[in-house]
Amino acid sequence: MDTKFPEAVNAAAPEKRSRGARVSGIDRALQILDFLQAEMKPVGAYAVAKAVGAPLSTVYVIIEDLVEKRLLQRRSDGTVWLGPRLYHYGLAYAESLDFLNVATHEMQDLCREVEETIQICGRDGDHMVVMAMADGPGHFRITSKIGSRVPLNWTASGRLLLGHLPDKERLEIFRHASKVSPTGRANTNPEALSEASANALRERLSIQINESDFSVACIASPICQPSGECLATISIVLPEHRVVQDRDRYTNAVRKAAERIEATLGWR
């Protein structure tokens, strides 16, 4: 939202602004939304202006903008109430909280079971991002932390996160998003990556060894919504020699962890 609205005093938060300080359009919009939430009923523009300490003309302009964007809705009597767009935002936020709560709990359980570092990863455009992480109890440590972003083709999780997409779309993403990894071992061939991505999702398992870091392996399983979309992954990050020594133990454990997350969320 642009900030062309007139300068006014933020009466709703005097401790944060001195008198005469400029109040942005987004601040005024939030004041209006906060007031409606506190009132828990439709309210007229005059009452809103009085509550937030803004000129009535300013409030009218902001309300019109919010109504147009479906963040507010106007009732037949002229009052305004929270709009349907906020409902969809709230649903998305609630779903993410449910997912992360469940996934984090399972992540901790899996960490205790296999005694290795566990990550919950998602997609951020052309990158995989670490959303949550539990360090294993040993001395083995990895460089990626919560918030770390790496190209999709470097990781087992990255391949899974694209596996549900149509072939053409998946191939195009790998064409423009694939980068050479620090070890030089990550596959950058878009056709091979696209095929591996689809196969990994079907098998609910993806493994990479030494592709992003030397002597580091990752075993990942997808967390899929009922639609089949891979929303995120749960993965075990461990020294490569342990995968060779006891591959079945880790692959079975991570698959079951992903299935439990889906079951708990009602997605299976």
The tens-digit pLDDT sequence of the chain (268 residues) is: 333 333 333 334 433 443 344 668 899 999 999 899 888 899 999 999 999 999 999 999 999 999 999 999 999 999 999 999 998 888 887 777 789 999 999 999 999 999 999 999 999 999 999 999 999 887 666 767 888 889 999 999 999 999 999 999 999 999 999 999 888 888 999 999 999 999 999 999 999 988 877 888 999 999 999 999 999 999 999 998 898 889 999 999 999 999 999 999 989 8
Are 218 and 181 a contacting pair, CB within 8 Å?
no
Confidence at residue 50, expressed as pLDDT on a 0 to 100 scale: 93
Query: What is the pLDDT at residue 22?
Result: 63
What angle separates helix 45-52 from helix 25-39, to the nearest 10 degrees? Answer: 110
Token pair of 227, please? 């639609």
| Radius of gyration of the chain measured on its C-alpha atoms | 24
Paired sense of beta strands 80-82 and 206-209, if any: unpaired
The angle at the Cα of 254, spanning 253 to 260, to the nearest 5 degrees, equals 90
pLDDT at 91: 80
Cα(205)–Cα(187) distance, integer angstroms = 17
- Residue 139: predicted pLDDT: 67
pTM score: 0.67
User: What is the distance between the alpha carbons of residues 200 and 165, in angstroms, rounded to a whole number?
Assistant: 13
User: CA nearest 203: which of 166, 163, 243?
Assistant: 163
